[in-house]
């Protein structure tokens, strides 16, 4: 059995939980079709993460994967 310590694996960010909440609150889902809202929320979260992570290599990975995912959908 492998035990993961999620806190130890966390990436450093320049954002507090309050900042994250405010950033997520800026997403306007009124024009997004109901069946695509979960995807829109995840895309918005990934965009915020890519901007706030201090490890630029990981931030670039998130940004590229977000672009590729959007290209597929």
72 within domain boundaries: yes
24 within domain boundaries: no
61 within domain boundaries: yes
Domain of residue 55, residue span: 34-73
Domain count, the chain: 1
13 within domain boundaries: no
Half-sphere exposure of 6 (CA within 13 A, CB side): 0
- Alpha-carbon distance of 63 to 47, in angstroms, equals 7
State pTM to two decimals: 0.80
pLDDT digits (tens, 9 = 90+) for 7-54: 777 889 999 999 999 999 999 999 999 999 999 999 999 999 999 999
DSSP state of 53: B
Look at residues 42, 52, 59 and name the one whose alpha carbon lies nearest to residue 20.
Answer: 52
71 within domain boundaries: yes
42 within domain boundaries: yes
38 within domain boundaries: yes
- The pLDDT score that the predictor gives to residue 44 is 95
Spatial contact of 58 and 11, defined as CB atoms under 8 Å apart? yes
pLDDT digits (tens, 9 = 90+) for 43-58: 999 999 999 999 999 9
- The pLDDT score that the predictor gives to residue 61 is 94
Beta-carbon contacts of 40 under 8 Å, excluding residues fewer than 6 positions away, are 27, 29, 32
């Amino acid at each position: 059995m492998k035990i993961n310590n999620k806190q130890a694996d966390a990436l450093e960010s320049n954002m507090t939980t309050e900042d994250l909440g405010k950033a997520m609150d800026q997403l306007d889902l009124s024009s997004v079709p109901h069946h695509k809202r979960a995807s829109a929320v995840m895309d918005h979260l990934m965009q915020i993460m890519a901007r706030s992570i201090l490890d630029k290599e990981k931030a670039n990975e998130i940004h590229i994967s977000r672009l590729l995912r959007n290209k597929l959908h």
